Amino acid sequence: MLESRTQNALKPGFDDPVRDSQRVFRAVLAAMSRPGKIVELPESPALPAFDGLPQSALAALLALADLETPVLALSGMDAAGLADYLGFHCGCPAANGPEEAAFILVDGARFEENSPEFARLPRGDALYPDRSATVVMAVPGLGGGFGPLLHGPGINGEAVLEVEGLPESFWEFARNNADLYPLGLDFIFTRGSRLACLPRSIRPGAMSRLGDAPCT
Amino acid sequence: MHVDKNLLAQRAKWMGTLAKAAPDELRSAARRLTGLPGYEALRKPETGLVMVRGRMGGTGRAFNLGEMTMTRCAVRVENGHAGFGYVAGRNAWHAELAAYLDALLQDERFREDVMSGVIAPLEERRNQDRALRRAETLATKVDFFTMVRGEDNDA
């Protein structure tokens, strides 16, 4: 009949698109400028659930993606459904490959099987370091008190990026990524309604040991 | 995905009717309908600008005529179809109502009722207005022809 698959699969976005996306943007900005800081996003009960995708990742994408930011979802995600959904609400195109992605959605526990795609993500270039991808990653653990130690811009002394359940190869990848500074990828780690960030300006250090977590 | 060309053309027509209708008339016509399902907003009414483009003579190269204010909305009726409303101006509930009726019109259970209760009267009204305007305009029409040249003889 009249309807396409796309139309029937449509689901609602933010309840109040302007204010909700501003709130989420502010929260992501706070997390990105204070690496390791865990922020709780405002509740958005209207948002639908996608397999393997935390609500905070969806909210961040709704707030950040627009006409100029191709989005790519890797294995473990409902790629077609997400492309339709984000295309409808944000107008963002679906990226044809990692090379043209501005945002990439990925399940952190599957980092190793997705590493070929990671290698092809844009890092920006010397004239335009902003032409790089932002990785939005679903992680198995966030806020458990353990993770790599961080220090550098935006951190008073030392902080712990309380992200757990990612393979050691990922942290190796993140350290190499930081060595590319000012080029490189930025990371948003998401779980449930919370998120934390790791910008390219920070090189994740050794894993914190029991009792290392700073009292904040 | 199967698309019925005929229905697509019909839909374009009713969406146009819904968009061009006077909001108050559309609302009072819709209020006479009964037994309608509820709906949820997929995209709440939002107002923005669209670039209106045109082609000289309909065939030339596309050019930007100018921007106009437009409000759009998308809804889904319970257990049913997604409907879209695009209306000129800033009237949010007009866009929402147009989207809701578009969704109902795609549904065979409601199409007849909405067609006869809303679309047909609005179209008729529009045709009347047009006929009236046309008649008014025609009344002032000037036919240019060469007058008989008077020979200026005194009467």
Q: Which residue of B has its CA nearest to A12?
A: B42
A7 touches chain B (CB under 8 A): yes
Reduced to 3 states, what is the DSSP secondary structure of residue A63? Answer: helix
pLDDT band at A187 (very low <50, low <70, confident <90, very high): very high
This model's pTM is above 0.90 = no
Give per-residue pLDDT as tens, A4-25. 445 556 889 998 888 999 999 9
A9 touches chain B (CB under 8 A): no
Q: Which residue of B has its CA nearest to A85?
A: B42
In this structure, is residue B153 part of a structural domain? no
Alpha-carbon distance of A66 to A86, in angstroms, equals: 9
Reduced to 3 states, what is the DSSP secondary structure of residue B6? Answer: helix
Q: Which region among A140-144, A201-205, B50-54, B138-142 has the lowest average model confidence (pLDDT)?
A: B138-142
Q: Which two tokens stand for residue A49?
A: 């659930």
Alpha carbon B88 to chain centroid distance?
A: 10
Counts of helices then strands in chain A (DSSP H, E): 6, 10
Q: Which two tokens stand for residue A124?
A: 């920006």
Query: Are the beta carbons of A12 and B43 separated by less than 8 Å?
Result: yes
Q: Which two tokens stand for residue A84?
A: 């339709």
In this structure, is residue B150 part of a structural domain? no
Give per-residue pLDDT as tens, A122-137. 999 999 999 999 999 9
Mean pLDDT for B15-28 is 95
Interface pTM (ipTM) of the complex? 0.71
Q: Which domains can be identified in chain A, with CATH numbers?
A: 5-198 (3.40.50.11310)
Q: Is the dihedral of CA B147, B149, B154, B155 positive or negative?
A: negative
In this structure, is residue B154 part of a structural domain? no
Q: Which two tokens stand for residue A80?
A: 């077609």
Assess whether pLDDT exceeds 90 at residue B87. Answer: yes
Alpha-carbon distance of A2 to A66, in angstroms, equals: 28
Assess whether pLDDT exceeds 70 at residue B3. Answer: no
Q: Beta A159-160 vs A149-150: how paired, if at all?
A: antiparallel
Please confirm whether the linkage preceding A129 is cis (ω < 30° from 0): no
Query: Are the beta carbons of A12 and B41 separated by less than 8 Å?
Result: yes
| Short-list B41, B49, B51, CA closest to B73 | B41
In this structure, is residue B28 part of a structural domain? yes
Which structural domain range is residue B128 located in? Answer: 22-137
In this structure, is residue B112 part of a structural domain? yes
pLDDT band at A105 (very low <50, low <70, confident <90, very high): very high
Minimal CA separation from A82 to chain B, in Å: 15
Picking from A2, A16, A20 by the largest number of B CB atoms within 10 A of its own CB, the best residue to mutate is A2
Query: Are the beta carbons of A2 and B8 separated by less than 8 Å?
Result: yes
CB pairs under 8 A between A and B: 42
Number of domains making up chain B: 1
Give per-residue pLDDT as tens, A43-94. 888 899 998 899 999 999 999 999 999 999 987 788 888 999 999 999 999 9
In this structure, is residue B3 part of a structural domain? no
Q: List CB contacts (< 8 A) between A1 and chain B.
A: 2-4, 7, 106
Q: List CB contacts (< 8 A) between B8 and chain A.
A: 2
Q: Beta A134-138 vs A186-191: how paired, if at all?
A: parallel
pLDDT band at B83 (very low <50, low <70, confident <90, very high): very high
